[in-house]
Structure 1
């Protein structure tokens, strides 16, 4: 994958710094299948992410899912393209304690500049703890700062 370039691949391959939000989540690239539009990531949920009962706060789980669906699409794009999320929905299935979590994302369908995405977040035992679906628009990289 080191031959690919663009904001996503430059970060994965160490040619540019990891976004601070991803670093906060302990974001780790595991694998991507560009042809099939799938990605596997890992995150490290720390004690700092917990609610009063010791479970990882849902907002952090949502952020991990958000940082899975976006890269699923970003990994497939050309170097001069980026993505802008239009809609994002999360379902929380069970509580989870801090530790290593895994994000599995995929591009479900893409027509033109609109893509439908989905992701799941699993614990170390491969039990699904949360899922997400999203719709995103592919935009020119030069326009990425001006779109919502």
Structure 2
């Protein structure tokens, strides 16, 4: 018998490695982009998410020899999207309508951790804050995002 879980409970089981083959949720986790890039959700709560990636210049470097800012932006977007998805019920979806990121120090590889939380949760529009830290726990970037929740027909196919 299949057991449908809320996204929050599904992700909690995924992190704890207690997902059973019969457990599922209405959104796809882990996401394809997370699998491709090696993003790992390590903590989850209602409206919060912590995601990590192990980076190296050989895989994630730009022409200056640092980790590409686009990868760091994707890490923030993934953490924010995962955090917001914990609020989604069947027939609901969401889309990012704005993402802003400020970079504070270069990254030459190592573990990056993104922690996202809501600044304001609304019925249609929500605002998020995400801090990205390096292996030493120093802030390397701060991102903010505006997310729009979609309902019924607007949520289909997303």
Per the normalisation by structure 1, the TM-score is 0.81
2:115 is equivalent to residue 114 of structure 1: no
What SS does the corresponding residue of 2:107 show, helix, strand or coil? coil
Q: What is the 5 A alignment of 1:1-148?
A: 4-6=5-7, 9=10, 13=14, 15=24, 18-34=30-46, 37-46=47-56, 47-140=58-151, 143-144=154-155
Q: Return 5+ residue gaps in structure 2 as ranges.
A: none
Deviations 1:74-125 (A, max 9, x none): 1222243221111111111110022221010001112221101110111111
- C-alpha RMSD over aligned residues: 2.8
What SS does the corresponding residue of 2:105 show, helix, strand or coil? coil
Larger Rg: 2
Per the normalisation by structure 2, the TM-score is 0.77
What SS does the corresponding residue of 2:121 show, helix, strand or coil? strand
Q: Relative to structure 1, is the Cα distance of residues 28 and 127 closer, same or farther in structure 2, using a 3 angstrom cutoff?
A: same
Q: How far apart are residue 142 of structure 1 and its match?
A: 5.8
Query: Retained in 1: the 8 A contact 2:50–2:113?
Result: yes
Structure 1 segments (4+ residues) deviating >6 Å: none
* Bigger shift: residues 23-32 or 73-82: 73-82
Alpha-carbon distance in structure 2 between the residues aligned to 1:85 and 1:79: 19
Count of aligned positions:
144
Q: Relative to structure 1, is the Cα distance of residues 3 and 130 closer, same or farther in structure 2, using a 3 angstrom cutoff?
A: farther
